[in-house]
């Protein structure tokens, strides 16, 4: 059984207002060619097919093209991620089953496999803890709890099928120990976001989505992996190698090779005084990169972005951290908020505006507002 594991396409996304449409089309071409050359039995797409719950027309057309071309070669199983609208992505899923494209977005179908060759493939869509806890009458409200229940249902079905059936799971979650990037939406509101890798014990392969860096969660067995996103969606991903896993499920275990995806334009983060950046020969290597530039001049240079773009036409983000400034932050804004939940960030805003920390009543109101937004988005 040979599968291709990919995830986090985020179709329709831009990069700091730069269109990624051509780059995403080239990725689809690469994906189709990889499936053809590698004779893949099944393609797994582990969530975040789209970047928004209401995707653009171009994004929907590209997804339609990708699935049609892949289905001409193999079977496809995909799940909804936290960026997707489960209702929209799942429309027509029972009709699509007959075509060989299997979309899993519903609670009710967790534990119901897609049978491909000697493998049972189980799609676990992104599970909002509050909804799943109510649906399944769980005591605990967390991502770990709802995934544990989902996997209980999967393991029960696997056991009923006997030892000769291979088991494969798709899931969209934040497994403990993974390294997040700036482009992943926080999922901690609605319950603790981290899930232990042991949740996926008992299956032959777990194809994960959500984190944008490729990562083998269980290096000893290789049976739990993230494929990462096919393109870089933030400057924090500048060192990522993007692509998909081509996975063979053999009698002696999992064997995987990484198929690198094409790079539309490389990323880099530069820091220094503007004259050094403009005059140094060493920086010539970055003239065709997408750039995040942080200037350190004692005084903010005038017309900085215009001057920088004469040499670096693809400079996209400009920051300013003057050398030796008292109290100058040592980290960027994205780095300072990376480990904070949406609720904590909103609480910091209240403190900044009012001069006092958010009260318990204010935090409760903010929490209620976030939960309302999540429910509304999940229902769209």
Ordered by start, the domain boundaries in the chain are: 2-260, 267-334, 340-379
User: Between β-strands 215-216 and 224-226, what pairing exists: parallel, antiparallel or unpaired?
Assistant: antiparallel
Residue 379: pLDDT over 90? no
Is residue 191 very low, low, confident or very high in pLDDT (cuts 50, 70, 90)? very low
Rg (CA), the chain: 22
Residue 74: pLDDT over 70? yes
Structure-model confidence comparison of residues 217 and 361, the more confident one: 217
Q: Which segments of the chain are extended strands (E)?
A: 2-6, 14-15, 18-19, 42-46, 75-79, 101-104, 114-116, 119-124, 166-172, 174-175, 194-195, 205-209, 215-216, 224-226, 243-250, 253-260, 267-272, 290-295, 315-320
The per-residue pLDDT for range 233-268, each reduced to its tens digit, is 999 999 999 999 999 999 889 999 999 999 999 999
Q: What is the mean pLDDT of residues 15-36?
A: 97
- Give the whole-angstrom CA distance, residue 341 versus residue 320: 25
Residue with tokens 């798709």: 170
pLDDT of residue 335: 64
Residue 332: pLDDT over 70? no
Number of H helices and E strands in the chain, helices first, is: 11, 19
- Give the whole-angstrom CA distance, residue 86 versus residue 105: 5
Residue pair 173/147 in contact by the 8 Å Cβ criterion: yes
Mean pLDDT score across all residues of the chain: 90
The per-residue pLDDT for range 32-50, each reduced to its tens digit, is 999 999 999 999 999 999 9
Rounded to 5 degrees, what angle do the CA atoms 171, 251, 7 make?
25
Structure-model confidence comparison of residues 124 and 341, the more confident one: 124
pLDDT of residue 337: 63
**Exposure string (b/e) for 40-67, b if CB count within 10 Å is 16 or more?**
bbbbbbbbbbbbebebeeebeebbeebb
The per-residue pLDDT for range 276-315, each reduced to its tens digit, is 999 999 999 999 999 999 999 999 999 999 999 999 999 9
- CATH class name, domain 2-260: alpha beta
Q: Which conformational region is residue 355 in: left (phi greater than 0), alpha (psi within -120 to 50 degrees), or beta? A: left
- Between the alpha carbon of residue 6 and those of residues 47, 209, 281, the distances in Å are 9, 8, 39
Structure-model confidence comparison of residues 347 and 118, the more confident one: 118
Residue with tokens 């009710």: 108
Residue 115: pLDDT over 60? yes
Q: For residue 177, give every residue at least 6 positions away whose Cβ sits within 8 Å of its Cβ, in sequence order, or none.
A: 197, 217
The per-residue pLDDT for range 78-93, each reduced to its tens digit, is 999 999 999 999 999 9
**Partners of 226 in beta bridges:** 208, 215
Please compute, for residue 188, the number of CA atoms within 13 A of its CA located in the half-sphere on the CB side: 14
- Give the whole-angstrom CA distance, residue 322 versus residue 243: 38
Is residue 189 very low, low, confident or very high in pLDDT (cuts 50, 70, 90)? very low
**Partners of 273 in beta bridges:** none
Structure-model confidence comparison of residues 244 and 355, the more confident one: 244
> CA end-to-end span of the chain, whole Å?
36
Q: What DSSP string describes 313-345?
A: TTEEEEEE--TT-TT--SS-HHHHHTTS-HHHH
Is residue 368 very low, low, confident or very high in pLDDT (cuts 50, 70, 90)? confident
**Exposure string (b/e) for 207-232, b if CB count within 10 Å is 16 or more?**
bbbbbbbbbbbbeeebbbbbbbbbbb
**Partners of 290 in beta bridges:** 267
pLDDT of residue 221: 93
Residue with tokens 């393991």: 155
Please compute, for residue 219, the number of CA atoms within 13 A of its CA located in the half-sphere on the CB side: 4
């Amino acid at each position: 059984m040979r599968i291709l594991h990919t995830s986090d396409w985020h179709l329709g996304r831009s990069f700091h207002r730069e269109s990624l449409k051509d780059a995403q089309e080239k990725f689809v071409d690469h994906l189709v060619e990889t499936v053809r050359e590698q004779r893949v039995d099944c393609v797994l797409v582990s969530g975040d097919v789209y970047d928004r719950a209401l995707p653009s027309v171009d994004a929907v057309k590209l997804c339609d093209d990708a699935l049609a071309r892949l289905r001409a070669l193999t079977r496809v199983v995909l799940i909804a991620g936290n960026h997707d609208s489960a209702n929209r992505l799942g429309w027509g899923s029972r009709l699509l089953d007959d075509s060989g494209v299997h979309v899993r977005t519903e609670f009710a179908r967790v534990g119901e496999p897609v049978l491909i060759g000697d493998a049972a493939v189980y799609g676990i869509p992104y599970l909002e803890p509050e909804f799943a806890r109510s649906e399944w009458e769980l005591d605990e409200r967390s991502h770990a709890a709802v995934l544990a229940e989902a996997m209980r249902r999967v393991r029960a079905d696997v056991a009923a099928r006997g030892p000769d059936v291979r088991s494969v799971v798709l899931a969209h979650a934040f497994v403990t120990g993974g390294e997040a990037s700036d482009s992943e939406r926080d999922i901690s509101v609605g319950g603790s976001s981290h899930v232990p890798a042991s949740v996926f014990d008992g299956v032959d392969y777990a194809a994960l989505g959500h984190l944008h860096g490729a990562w083998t969660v269980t290096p000893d067995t290789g049976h739990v992996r993230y494929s990462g996103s096919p393109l870089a969606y933030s400057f924090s991903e500048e060192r990522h190698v993007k692509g998909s896993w081509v996975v063979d499920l053999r009698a002696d275990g999992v064997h995987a090779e990484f198929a690198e995806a094409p790079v539309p334009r490389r990323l880099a983060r530069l820091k220094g005084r503007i004259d050094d950046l403009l005059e140094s020969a060493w920086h010539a290597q970055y003239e065709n990169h997408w750039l995040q530039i942080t200037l350190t001049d004692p005084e903010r240079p005038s017309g900085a972005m215009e001057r920088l773009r004469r040499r670096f036409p693809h400079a996209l983000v400009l920051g300013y951290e003057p050398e030796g400034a008292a109290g100058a932050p040592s980290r960027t804004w994205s780095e300072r908020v990376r480990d904070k939940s949406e609720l904590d960030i909103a609480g910091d805003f209240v403190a900044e505006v009012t001069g006092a920390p958010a009260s318990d009543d204010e935090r409760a109101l903010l929490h209620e507002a976030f939960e309302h937004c999540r429910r509304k988005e999940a229902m769209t």
